[in-house]
Amino acid sequence: MIKVTRLNGMEYYLNPHQIESLEVRPDTTFQMLSGKIIVVKETVTEVIDRIVEYRRRIGGFKNEE
């Protein structure tokens, strides 16, 4: 799970495997596979760094199915 911050300052953890796309409009906006839209305070680069960091931590590519 990666940590993000909602616009109202709430911490929020989301599952990066469920992200469909990221948009800058100009807030960083996640479009999730479920159709849910989540807007966060972090910049896109921060988010991507966290995803990479998370993937590094869990290692195995077997989770990529």
Which residues between 1 and 20 bind other proteins (CB under 8 A)?
6-8, 10
Question: Quick one: which of 29, 46, 48, 51 contacts other proteins (CB under 8 A)?
Answer: 29
Q: Tokens 């972090």 label which residue?
A: 42
Stretch touching other proteins by CB under 8 A, among 13-21, 23-31, 45-53, 56-64: 23-31
Nearer residue to other proteins within complex by CB, 5 or 52: 5
Quick one: three-class SS letters along the chain?
CEEEEECCCCEEEECHHHEEEEEEECEEEEEECCCCEEEECCCHHHHHHHHHHHHHHHCCHHHHC
Residues that bind other proteins (CB under 8 A): 6-8, 10, 23, 25-27, 29, 36-37, 39
